[in-house]
Amino acid sequence: MDIFLQQVVNGLTLGSVYAVVALGYTMVYGIIQLINFAHGEVVMIGAMVAFTVITSLAAAGMPPLLVVMLGVACAVPVCMAIGYAMERLAYRPLRRAPRLAPLISAIGVSIVLQYLAVMVWTRNVIAFPQIIRIQTYNLAGATITNVQLAILALCFAIMAGLAFLVYRTRLGTAMRATAQNPQVAGLMGVDVNRVIATTFVIGAGLAAVAGVMVGTYYGIAQYTMGSVLGLKAFCAAVLGGIGNIPGAMLGGVVLGIVEALGAGYIGDLTDLCRYAWLEGLLGERCAGGGHFILFGSNYQDVFAFVVLILVLVFRPSGLLGERVGDRA
Amino acid sequence: MIPLFDTRNNPRLVWAGVAVVALVLLVLPFALVQVGTSWVRITNYAILYVLLALGLNIVVGFAGLLDLGYIAFYAVGAYAYALLASPQFGLHLPFWAILPIGALVAAFFGVLLGAPTLKLRGDYLAIVTLGFGEIVRIFLNNLSRPVNITNGPQGIARIDPFTVGGFDFSSAQSVLGVAVSGPIKYYYLLLALIVAILVVNVRLQNSRIGRAWEAVREDETAARAMGINTTHMKLLAFAMGASFGGVAGGMFSAIQGFISPESFVLVESIMVVAMVVLGGMGNIWGVVLGALLLSFVPEVLRWTVEPVQQALFGRMVVEPEVIRMLIFGLALVLIMLFRPAGLLPSAVRKRELADERAA
């Protein structure tokens, strides 16, 4: 099996999920310059709601695809309601406050959501029922499952839909106008509050779908799953240029692939026994095909942050960002 | 105005107040023991949080650099202590040698983080520091292979307590006929440390450096035009903030006797930031208040929530920990809604807020 291609396939799948979550961050940041810390938690709630629906319907003998669709159909409105409530109650009153205030408020919201989830779904890792039978296909030496294919297709459909919404509709024009200058947009007749609320609701809906995808992909869910995923998606958004919608998509996919390739190869690259001049130094530990691996694939989570730091240091506006440089 | 608090006309009242506070603080542990021994321990952790919050306040409050990975320096200090005074490497250096080493190592890490991020401002800096904190934690978790340095997720156990001569801070003994337990001894040590650090902070705030930080925070370009070396000042803020965190980490290691990467997760960083912001960034007394509130209120909740539920429903409906965190999260939101500049805002922040409203 071709490891390189396999890792690219895995990375692409995960990366497209990152991209969908990153869209939520980037849209909100683009419009009100707020890092919505609680966004990852919305993803988690989406996964949890879908889990409940899928488990209760799994035994009913309905076609699996329909069950998953129903799960998504329940998770999306719940998350949208949460997104709306969160904007209305925790962020809108703080729009003119010092910059740190909404950030702290967002942290508060994220704690509340996490522990609401603990109340409803307990602390335990819960297993998603595997109702979709996994089929594998061979793709030039790499294997790809039907779940992966579905995730990829769904993510790209979502991204295309969102691009259409933002660049081709009245609402999208209003969103872009608000992002550029809320006051002037307001003067031009845009209902700024409604646009911002809509942005949150759309982001939360995307998060719900992403939550279901992550849940079905890994087969597990837990109340903490949102925070790391959220952080990585945020890294993806920054990598692409925060506030920039195509950037978030690109950033997510690139980050997913970098992570997968990094995890796949770092063990080999830092195996000191590979390097002849060090082999003598390490002596018996390398003898007979032994390994002396400095960093293994358990450092996978580091890549997102290293990429983030490198991007911010060398190209702070991200891959596709052009106007954000000194906005912060 | 109540004459009792009229310090302007009667400056001696200030000293009387200081004397009362000092007396209360000195007697406090013995009063707490009456309520329950664990409260002394809780107080000790609260003081550690005050230490951390004061250190972070230098970075966030004074210099205006939002650091969301501050717990990394705490971790560095804690691990520095643990590695130099535990069976892990068989080293057992005395604490007065290790604490400065811990502070220095943490300061080095502070500069390490500060140097590449000097150009960044605001939210971006926040996220990079957050990433840095996570990187440090992941390394602590994984540096057990191929050479075992941190012992991975199992953490390091049997860390030496503080000892001076034959005086061991961890064990109970009776002094002048009064039984003094280990936590009480640590309480006095921490109290002394916190007083020293408070003095340093107050002096720092009004010093040349403190005013330079304030200038950098308010307007970096203008500060540079006034001849302030902004690069040095920012690095200094990172290094000093980090070294406070390092000292606090060393104390934590010694008091706890066991550390693992679990103690240095992102939530902890966020907790410390919340303390600083809640109390009022840049205001030393506000930060102290914020740290005390956020470390005590959850504990009080932990002790009250369960009996209340027993009385109301006759059984435990929701775990106390869950309610505690829910209330904590809600409180963060509510305080930001009603007092966005913190409970005790600093004078400068008040002015800023007024300006922003006017603009």
Q: Is residue B354 part of a domain?
A: no
Integer Cα distance of A148 and A10 in angstroms: 8
Which has more pLDDT, A133 or A181? A181
A58-70 pLDDT per residue, tens: 877 788 888 888 9
Q: Is residue A259 part of a domain?
A: no
| Chain A residues lying within 8 Å of B330, measured CB to CB | 108, 112
Q: Are A283 and B135 in contact (CB under 8 A)?
A: no
ipTM of the shown complex: 0.84
Q: What is the pTM (predicted TM-score) of this model?
A: 0.83
Mean pLDDT of B142-150: 79
Q: Which domain holds residue A229?
A: 3-254
Residue B348: per-residue pLDDT: 65
Q: Which of A15, A48, A20 is nearest to A126 (CA)?
A: A48
- Beta-carbon neighbour count of residue B288 at 10 Å? 22
Q: Cβ B336–A234 below 8 Å, yes or no?
A: no
B277-289 pLDDT per residue, tens: 888 888 899 999 9
Residue entry with tokens 């007083």: B195
Q: Is residue B200 part of a domain?
A: yes
Residue B358: per-residue pLDDT: 44
Q: Is residue B314 part of a domain?
A: no
How much of chain A exceeds pLDDT 90, in percent?
A: 42
Q: What mean pLDDT value characterizes chain A?
A: 86
| pLDDT reading at A288 higher than 70 | no
Q: Is residue B335 part of a domain?
A: no
Shortest CA gap A65–chain B (Å): 35
Residue A80: per-residue pLDDT: 96
Which of B328, B336, B337, B352 is best to mutate for the A interface (most A CBs within 10 A)? B336
Q: Which domain holds residue B156?
A: 37-265
| pLDDT reading at B131 higher than 60 | yes
Q: Is residue A274 part of a domain?
A: no
- Residues linked to residue B163 through DSSP beta bridges, in sequence order: B168
Residue A201: per-residue pLDDT: 95
Integer Cα distance of B333 and B69 in angstroms: 21
Task: List b or e across B295-320, with b for residues whose CB sees 16 or more CB atoms inside 10 angstroms.
Answer: bbebbebebebeeebeeeeeeeeebb
- In terms of Cβ atoms closer than 10 Å to its own Cβ (0-12, 13-18, 19+), residue A123 is middle
Which has more pLDDT, A87 or A37? A87
Which alpha helices (H) appear in chain A, and where do they start and end?
Answer: 3-32, 39-58, 64-86, 100-121, 146-168, 170-180, 182-187, 192-218, 225-240, 245-269, 276-282, 300-314
Residue B206: per-residue pLDDT: 85
Integer Cα distance of A56 and A64 in angstroms: 12
Residue of B nearest to A34 (CA): B123
pLDDT band at B152 (very low <50, low <70, confident <90, very high): confident
The number of folded domains in chain A is 1
| Chain B residues lying within 8 Å of A33, measured CB to CB | 123
Q: Are B239 and B245 in contact (CB under 8 A)?
A: no
A134-155 pLDDT per residue, tens: 888 887 778 888 889 999 999 9
Residue A322: per-residue pLDDT: 59
Q: What mean pLDDT value characterizes chain B?
A: 83
CA–chain centroid gap for A165, Å, is: 20
Tell me how long chain A is: 328
| Chain B residues lying within 8 Å of A234, measured CB to CB | 127
Residue B344: per-residue pLDDT: 81
Nearest Cβ partner for B121 among A112, A115, A328: A328
pLDDT band at A175 (very low <50, low <70, confident <90, very high): very high
Residue of B nearest to A272 (CA): B146
Mean pLDDT of A232-250: 88
User: Helix crossing, B266-279 with A100-121: angle to 10°?
Assistant: 130
Q: Are B80 and B249 in contact (CB under 8 A)?
A: yes
Residue of A nearest to B66 (CA): A100
Which of A92, A112, A183, A326 is best to mutate for the B interface (most B CBs within 10 A)? A112
**Element spanning A299, H or E:** none
Residue entry with tokens 């919505």: A36
A99-113 pLDDT per residue, tens: 777 888 888 899 899
**Element spanning B167, H or E:** strand B167-168
Largest separation between any pair of C-alpha atoms in chain B: 68
Nearest Cβ partner for A294 among B125, B146, B318: B146
B205-242 pLDDT per residue, tens: 889 999 999 898 888 889 999 999 988 999 999 999 99
Q: Is residue A238 part of a domain?
A: yes
Q: Is residue B357 part of a domain?
A: no
Q: Cβ A101–B328 below 8 Å, yes or no?
A: no
Q: Is residue B284 part of a domain?
A: no
The number of folded domains in chain B is 1
| pLDDT reading at A326 higher than 50 | no
| pLDDT reading at A205 higher than 90 | yes
B275-332 pLDDT per residue, tens: 888 888 888 999 999 899 888 887 887 778 777 877 777 776 777 778 878 887 888 8
Residue of A nearest to B319 (CA): A119
Q: Which of B206, B244, B235, B223 is nearest to B348 (CA)?
A: B206
Residue A126: per-residue pLDDT: 87
CB contacts < 8 A, A to B, total 143
Residue of B nearest to A318 (CA): B124
Q: Which tokens belong to B194?
A: 């916190």
Nearest Cβ partner for A94 among B119, B278, B337: B337
pLDDT band at B343 (very low <50, low <70, confident <90, very high): confident
pLDDT band at A40 (very low <50, low <70, confident <90, very high): very high
Residue B51: per-residue pLDDT: 93
Give the domain CATH number at A169.
Answer: 1.10.3470
pLDDT band at A328 (very low <50, low <70, confident <90, very high): very low
Q: Is residue A195 part of a domain?
A: yes
Shortest CA gap B204–chain A (Å): 24
Q: Which tokens belong to A223?
A: 């109340």
Q: Phi, psi (5° rounding) for residue B86?
A: -160, 170
Residue B185: per-residue pLDDT: 82
pLDDT band at B1 (very low <50, low <70, confident <90, very high): very low
Mean pLDDT of B97-113: 91
Instruction: Establish if A2 touches chain B: CB-CB under 8 angstroms.
Output: no
Integer Cα distance of A177 and A185 in angstroms: 6
How much of chain B exceeds pLDDT 70, in percent?
A: 89
| Chain A residues lying within 8 Å of B132, measured CB to CB | 305, 309
Mean pLDDT of B79-92: 85
Mean pLDDT of B158-183: 73
Q: How many CA atoms lie within 13 A of B203 on its CB side?
A: 6
Q: Is residue B327 part of a domain?
A: no
B residues 126..185 contacting A (CB < 8 A): 126-128, 130-132, 134-135, 138-139, 141-142, 145-146
Integer Cα distance of A297 and A303 in angstroms: 10
A1-23 pLDDT per residue, tens: 578 888 899 899 999 999 999 99
- In terms of Cβ atoms closer than 10 Å to its own Cβ (0-12, 13-18, 19+), residue A59 is exposed
Residue A220: per-residue pLDDT: 87
Q: How many CA atoms lie within 13 A of A69 on its CB side?
A: 6
User: What residues contact B107, with CB distance under 8 A and at least 6 apart?
Assistant: B239, B240, B242, B243, B246
Residue A282: per-residue pLDDT: 65
Residue B325: per-residue pLDDT: 81
| pLDDT reading at A29 higher than 80 | yes
Q: Is residue B183 part of a domain?
A: yes
Q: Cβ A316–B120 below 8 Å, yes or no?
A: yes
Q: Cβ B134–A305 below 8 Å, yes or no?
A: yes
Integer Cα distance of B51 and B197 in angstroms: 8
Q: Which of A132-141, A154-163, B99-108 is least confident?
A: A132-141
Q: Is residue A66 part of a domain?
A: yes
Strands A142-145 and B91-92 come out as unpaired
Instruction: Give, in degrees to the nearest 5, the angle at Cα A131 between A263 and A152.
Output: 45
